[in-house]
Amino acid sequence: MTSAYIGVLLLAAAAGKDGKSLVERTCNTKCHNLDVIKAQQITAKEWRPLVQIMIGRGAKATPSQAEIIVEYLAKTYGAK
C-alpha cells in the first residue's frame, strides 16, 4: 500500500460524510440516479474502473475524490 493511497484513505475517514456528499453531487446526475448505484453491490476493486468510466463520460471528480467515492461506494453499497 503506497503512502498516497494511505493518505487518501485517511482523508476519506476524516471526511466522514464527504464520501456521501461526493457521491450525491457527482453520481446522482441526469445520466442515472442513486438507485442504479445502490443496486450494484460490488467491491472497491470492481467500483474503481466503473468510477473511471463515469469520469471519462463526464463525471467531475479529481483522482483523490474518485478514490473517496470508490471507498464510500464499496463500504456503503458493496458486496453483501
Higher pLDDT, 56 or 2: 56
Could you tell me the residue ranges of all domains in the chain?
3-77
pLDDT tens column, 32-56: 888 888 888 999 999 999 999 999 9
pLDDT for the residue 4: 65
pLDDT tens column, 60-79: 999 999 999 999 999 998 88
| Enclosing H/E stretch for 19 | helix 18-27
| pTM, two decimal places | 0.75
- Which residues, other chains included, contact 3 with Cβ-Cβ below 8 Å and sequence gap of 6+? none
Instruction: Classify domain 3-77 at the CATH topology level.
Output: Cytochrome Bc1 Complex; Chain D, domain 2 (1.10.760)
